[in-house]
Structure 1
Amino acid sequence: STTRRCKDKHLEEALLLSRALGEGLRALSEGEARPLLRCILAFQMEATSSSSSFQKLEQMVTQLAVGNEALLAQEVGTLMAGLAQQGEVLSPENLQSVCMFIEESSLGRQHWQRNLSLLLQCLATTLHWVLQSQPGGTWGYLAVKACLQLFQALPKDVAPLAWSNVGKSEALQSLVGL
């Protein structure tokens, strides 16, 4: 509890400092901004269990990315691509990261919108595996949470895959048919 308050306090100070240095941060070249951006994104990956910390880091990332939007999209894409691999079961940590990026990060949502088939396939594989081996645990909870957040955050992208005969997704049918 004390550690968390200390982290929150320092994170708030860092956010205020990043706002004060906004113009200087925007003046960084892509080569200068990339390591700082990667560092903040790494912290963000570690903060997926704390919505308030994640949001503060998201604000810092957004400020740093002004003028470097393509760089930010590339870095977030690389980070997200590492979470979900074709045919793999998502770990609880990766599920938590997927959930937080869907819920709190516009670039995270955009990445999963572009890679919806992959995410649906990974979620279907994960949910099937979890229900076979550990149905009542945290892993199952996180798998269901990720599905629900995905359906809520991207309804216009998911609905055609569920209701259209042309665009039906086997992974989505597997998820809703469990």
Structure 2
Amino acid sequence: MTEPKLRVGVYPGTFDPITLGHMDIIRRGAKLVDRLVIGVTNNPSKSPMFTVEERMEMVRRECTGIDSEIRVVAFNSLLMDFAEREGAGVIIRGLRAVADFEYEYQMAGMNQQLNSRIETVFLMADVSLQPIASRLVKEIALFGGDIRKFVTPTVSNEMVERVKIIGRKGS
């Protein structure tokens, strides 16, 4: 009797910072696969607040306690090439709103053209978490706003410290 094939999923993102919305998708996505690979990358159109290494550590720490096999890996390549290298059969993407859907729909179509063996699965974020976007969390933090509703206490503290460093560099 042969071993059943391991179902591997990839959840890619910049996670700058990891939010409660990301954690919702991670928890739920991890239930759909045997191994969830969280791919941390840089988006050329975004200016990260944290380095890839810092974000990977943040994601690892925040995923502690999730009872699933989760790997956190940096990547700097086409998503479909990364997914292929990881042995993934599925890409997991979170949707918050209609605006997300348009972008994600286009991306899923392009990815299917690149590799039709890997499916894209969309998970709707929990209703209470749908407005959360890392970009907005960073903006709120940079202006001294309270971000504790959007990230864990540890991530909130890290962001407050990072904003202080950024403020010192800017003065």
Normalising by structure 1, we get a TM-score of 0.23
- Higher Rg of the two aligned structures: 1
